[in-house]
Every structure is written in structure tokens, then in C-alpha cells.
Amino acid sequence: MKKRSIAVACLLPALTALHLAPASAAPAAAGAVSAVSGVTLAWADAGRTAIKITWTSPLADKVELTTSYGPELLGTTAAGAADQLVVPVSKFHPTYDPSRKAQIIVTDSAGASASSKEFDQHVPRAKPAGVGISGSSLQGTADVDTTPDATPNDPLDVAVPVPLRYRPNILVDCTRTKYATSSSPSFSIPLPSLAARLWIDTSNEWPAPYVDENYSGFGIDRARISTAAPTSTTYRQAFTLTGTVTQLEAFFTHEQGNCGIGPVVPEPRPVVIQARKDSSSAWGVVGSTSTGAGGRYSFQVTNPGTRQYRSVVPTRKTNDSLDLGVTSGIRTVAATTQVLSAKFLTATVAYGKPATAYLSVLPGSNQRALLQAKNTSGAWAGVTYKTLAGGKGYATITWRRRGVTPFRWYVPASKTSSGLTVGAVFTGSFYLTVR
């Protein structure tokens, strides 16, 4: 609409029901004509790429968008120019906040102002839900907030509701990737190799908001795990597997724009201890424990024979994150034969008399043990073999060397009933005295 001249405006009745100018507007000058009115707004085109604002005023005007964040200048018009402004929709700052209201305020050069009806720029927020892994893909759906906006039937509401459109938006190592927009709330995107944060951008008649100030995203958390174990223990001896789980989380702050990946203090997480006989065997569960202070864990095992061990932290789902699981490296813990007893039943005998050597070991198998003695040169030499029965055996000898002689048994490797290897062992020295 064209501006009327000031002279004509002075002849018209003064406008009533003027809206108050915002705090930033200058007060009207004494004797100034205040005739700004009729602020309206509507979508400027079928594609809703811009908004057309119209009003009536005889003077030069400034047009502001005011929200809870304060006023923001959209543009100005000169006296005598058309009382309208077409503003790109991006300047209206669509929001996921259903409570936010906005108004257009037109203020003339005399300080008088008028306001549009309140309107919202609301796009329903959608949070990732049901997030999981399928092969190398991250899959899930959108859980949409159904809270109604604060200005129903405002001037920018459309007659036929525009269905939501969805676009996965993921931040990995401070780099954003926005995938294709879809009308389906379900999504399937590549599984990130690092800790990440996931959003689902939504749009309706308003484009997707640039940022979501009140939602820091759905966490795709990673973890590191260490594990330690002894390389060998005797058969049926208890040992402890220990390790630490470190949870890695992507962080992002809207205000400062900080982002990165860092360790966080983890909540207790279950740790499953697995074992197998060798690389050609399947893994089986030995037991489970959970992390404690500092993400540390421990688990005690009674050595049943040589096995490979690893620690597995399963993937865990929470309301706001998917904590991906992790598997430790492999630790092989060998088992060696446990010697229960190795001795002479009678440790002192007369020259020419027999002496009986005894051996008892675990596992109780039919090992062919070798009795050895140190010769006069100090080297170990075989004396006799004995096939054990259930891990026990006796060997009677007549030792024809006076004095004290060290003896020992050599017990070869064996298999347990479950097929696990138990390594060979030399017993400690025991002594025979011949007088």
C-alpha cells in the first residue's frame, strides 16, 4: 500500500489501540504524527521461502522481529515507499521450543509503533529412539514431541498441516554430516567409527531450525578396554583377570561451539569374561563382573588348563545414548602340572637296599613320568620311567652311590578331560641318602 502524505494524515482521526513499542524503540517526538497500524504477515510464496509483512504508515519505518531473545531488525522502509517487506524465512529463526512466541513490530520515525498478532516458528522436535546396530549401519526411528505450540491459528499456520520431514544429522570428530531428508521417521545411516552425537532435524511449514539449544543430541558412545592376566599358573591355581573400561563420549556445546571426543566417568558396566581352547575353538562364557571406581574390573579364574581369555563389554542402550560394546585383546594363560608330592618314602637307606620314589600330580592322568638324578658331574640324568595311574605312581630303585643324591621327576604335558592342555613340569629336588 502507498504512503499517504503527512498533510493528509494530519486530517485523519488519530489511530487507536496502538501497541506499545518495545523497550528499544525511541519515544515519539513532541508533536509527531503517529499513524502506523495494520501490521499483517503471510507466507510470500507457495514454497514458503519468505514471509511478507505489510502495514500502514506515512513515515519511514523499521521492522523488527521480537522474541524472548529480544528485538532483531529485519529491515527498513523510506517515507513514500511501499509499506511492505519480504523477509527470507531463515531470518525468523525456526525453533524446537513450542513455548516461544514472536511478533513483528513496525516503528515509524516518530517513535510510534504497531504489532502483528503473536505467532510461533515451532517445528516439533524429534529425538532418536530405538537406536541399534545392524551390520555396519546405525538404525532407529524418530520420537516426536507432540507438545502443541503456544499460538494456535496464528497468521502463519497453514490450512492443511504439512507432514514432518526428517533428516539424520550426526556430528563425528567435530564434522557434521546431514543425510537425505525423508518423510519416514525411520533411518539407517553408516555406523560411525568414533564416538558421535546424533540429531534428527525436522521441518514442516518451517525449515529445520539451525540449532537445538535445549537438546545436546543422542550419544553414540565408544569405549576402550584393557585386560591383563598372568602368562602361566599351575593347574587349578586361582588367578585374576584385571582391566579398565574407559567410556568415550562426543561433546558439543551450542554456546561456545566446543566439540570433541573425551573420556567420561563411566557408570558401572557389565564385563563378560570369555575363554576358548585355541584359535580354532568357539568362545564360551566363563563368568561376568562389572566395572567399579575408575572403570576398573577384576575376575578370578581357577585355571582348568591352558586357555585364551578376553573381556567383552556388551552394547548398552539408555534413554539418551547407545553405549557401544568393546572387546579386549586376547590373553593366553597356560597351565602347568600341579605337583602334590614328590619324594622318597624312605629318604635314607643302607647301601644296596631298595628305595621307593613317589609322585602325585594333577591332573590325575596316565602321564609317563621320568625319574631323574644328578650325576657326579652335576647334570641331570634319567633313572627310570613310571606310567602314572590317576596322577600317582611309585618307582623302586636300588641306588649304588653313597652319600646324598638330588632327584626329581619330569612330568610331560597332558590333556584334561575337556581337552585342555596342561604343560610339562619338573618337580622340585628331593633327596636320597645312601649309607
Q: Note the pLDDT of residue 28.
A: 40
CATH architecture of 6-115: Sandwich (2.60)
The pLDDT of residue 136: 95
Tell me what pLDDT residue 33 has. Answer: 53
Instruction: Give the residue range(s) of CATH 2.60.40.10 domains in the chain.
Output: 6-115, 126-220, 337-434
Residues of the chain with CATH 2.60.40.730: 224-247+265-335
pLDDT of residue 151: 95
Report whether 327 contacts 309 (CB < 8 A).
no
Transcribe 143-176 into DSSP letters.
Answer: EE--PPPSSTT-TT--SSPPPPEEEEEEEETTEE
Q: What is the CATH number of domain 126-220?
A: 2.60.40.10
> Going residue by residue through the chain (435 aa), what tens digit of pLDDT does each one get?
333 333 323 322 333 333 333 333 334 444 445 589 999 999 999 999 999 999 999 999 999 999 988 999 999 999 999 999 999 999 999 999 999 999 999 999 999 999 999 999 999 999 999 999 999 999 999 999 999 999 999 999 998 989 999 999 999 988 999 999 999 999 999 999 999 999 999 999 999 998 787 788 999 999 999 999 999 999 999 999 999 999 999 988 766 668 899 998 778 999 999 999 999 999 999 999 999 999 999 999 999 999 999 999 999 999 899 999 999 999 999 999 999 999 999 999 999 999 999 999 999 999 999 999 999 999 999 999 999 999 999 999 999 999 999 999 999 999 999 999 999 999 999 999 999
- Which of 188, 251, 197 lies closest to 219 in space, CA to CA? 197
For 274, list phi and psi in degrees, rounded to 5. -120, 155
CATH T-level assignment (fold) for domain 337-434: Immunoglobulin-like (2.60.40)
Per-residue pLDDT, 257: 67
Task: Name the class of domain 224-247+265-335.
Answer: mainly beta
Burial code (b: 16+ CB inside 10 Å, e: under 16) for 206-245 equals bbbbeebeeeebbbbbbbebebebeeebbbeeebebebeb
Measured CA to CA in angstroms, residue 332 lies from 168, 217, 276, 280 at distances of: 43, 41, 10, 14
